[in-house]
Amino acid sequence: MRMRKKNYQEVVLATSKYIVNEPSKLAGQWKAALGSGELHVEIGSGKGDYWRLMAQQYPQAAWVGIEKNVNVASVALKKASEVDLTNAKFIVWDANLIQEWFMPGEIDVLHLNFSDPWPKKAHVKRRLTHHHFVEKYYQLLSDQGRVIMKSDNRELFEFSLVVMGQQWFVLEEVFVDFRSSTHDEDVISEYEQRFMDLGQPIYRAVWRKR
């Protein structure tokens, strides 16, 4: 279902202290700008609960959210305006351009939470674990950098396991029912809560750059 434009959208997009309108100007400087030695980037942050709450839970790390849908991004920014984070920024753009915003080796952890599955063959290239994206992640990640993915979608998860394995990443951890045990170290995202409420298992994988 398409989300309707919120009446606060334009104000929030124009005034949020979190939004970065020219992210390429921070390339190579995100850690310094956010006062941290460890940079986490989430692609497809949606309404931003994971990004915001992880930034609160791990204030010593820097957190950058990326979301291409202006309507949901404005919800993320509105929610973030209710807290005062100095270690978080948000980019409202398509992550296709991620190589323009970060320097090679700059990102320590990339988070993919409930990425769109794009089940039709014609749309497979849009998956955030398609090799076109994964090649970019490999360049942007630091030595030993990680990609952490959670999904409800078995087909996308299996596809991602195959692609990541082909693209110089080593699988470090895999869960086929992540929330069957307690994981206070990891925030539950909006979509994750929906699938948990439906009783669906949550898949999770962690890959490390070789």
Closest distance of CB 121 from ligand SAM, Å:
18
Q: Residue for token digits 């305006």?
A: 81
Q: Is 195 helix (H, G, I), strand (E, B) or coil?
A: helix
Q: Respond yes or no: is residue 116 known to be catalytic.
A: yes
The catalytically annotated residue of 84, 94, 108, 116 is: 116
Site residues for ligand SAM, 68-107, by CB under 6 A, read 68-69, 72, 94-96
d(CA 53, CA 78): 14
Q: Which of 63, 114, 159, 207: binder of ligand SAM (CB under 6 A)?
A: 114
**Residues binding ligand SAM: number (CB under 6 A):** 22
Does residue 30 interact with ligand SAM by CB under 6 A? no
Lay out the sheet containing 107-113: strands in order across. 88-91, 62-66, 39-43, 107-113, 141-151, 203-209, 169-175
Q: Which of 100, 116, 158, 172: binder of ligand SAM (CB under 6 A)?
A: 116
Instruction: Tell me if 68 sits within 8 A of 93, measured CB to CB.
Output: yes
d(CA 9, CA 56): 23
Q: Strands 107-113, 169-175: parallel, antiparallel or unpaired by DSSP?
A: unpaired
d(CA 210, CA 205): 16
Closest distance of CB 64 from ligand SAM, Å:
12
Q: Which of 113, 153, 160, 167: binder of ligand SAM (CB under 6 A)?
A: 113
Cα of 12 vs its chain's centroid, Å: 21
Stretch that binds ligand SAM, among 17-25, 76-84, 112-120, 178-186 (CB under 6 A): 112-120
Binding mask 177-206 for ligand SAM (x = CB under 6 A): ------------xxxx--------------
Site residues for ligand SAM, 36-75, by CB under 6 A, read 43-46, 50, 66-69, 72
Q: Which tokens is 17 given?
A: 């202290």
Residue ranges that bind ligand SAM, judged by CB under 6 A: 43-46, 50, 66-69, 72, 94-96, 113-116, 128, 189-192
Catalytic residue annotation: 116
